[in-house]
Amino acid sequence: DTAVSQTPKYLVTQMGNDKSIKCEQNLGHDTMYWYKQDSKKFLKIMFSYNNKELIINETVPNRFSPKSPDKAHLNLHINSLELGDSAVYFCASSPVTSGTSGSMYEQYFGPGTRLTVT
């Protein structure tokens, strides 16, 4: 009964290849995210989808393309992989609770996918 799952857990590939990471959540949440955590553990948001619509697109190379076939899935496709893409990629999801001061929510993270580009 995993809440947010990602596959694969580890991904080792060569420069120039294209790869995909899949994410699924069974929490019934409307919003999903992709984060990148670098070797210094710094976490940065890449994309966010709300009910299959892109709502956050940070300054990410266009080699990265998210795809949300339905609100329970958010996949990340990466073209022409580079050494600097090596990192841990986390998927997350959240409910959206409207409070008196705007959106209040917590995020539920998947276990991460460690991508190593050689």
Partner 1 sequence: SQQGEEDPQALSIQEGENATMNCSYKTSINNLQWYRQNSGRGLVHLILIRSNEREKHSGRLRVTLDTSKKSSSLLITASRAADTASYFCATVRGSNYKLTFGKGTLLTVNP
105 counts as binding partner 1 under rule CB under 8 A: yes
CB of residue 82 vs partner 1: minimum separation in angstroms?
A: 22
90 counts as binding partner 1 under rule CB under 8 A: yes
CB of residue 11 vs partner 1: minimum separation in angstroms?
A: 15
Q: Which residues lie below 8 Å from residue 61, measured CB to CB, with a gap of 6+?
A: none
Identity of the residue, 28 or 80, whose beta carbon is nearer to partner 1 in the bound complex = 28
CA distance 18 to 82: 10
**Restricting to residues 47-86, which ones interact with partner 1 according to CB under 8 A?**
48, 50, 55-56
Residue 6: φ, ψ to 5°: -130, 145
SS3 112: coil
7 counts as binding partner 1 under rule CB under 8 A: no
104 counts as binding partner 1 under rule CB under 8 A: yes
CA distance 34 to 20: 13
Pairing of strands 10-13, 113-117: parallel
Chain contacts with partner 1 (rule: CB under 8 A): 4, 31, 33, 40-45, 48, 50, 55-56, 90, 92, 94, 96, 99, 101-112
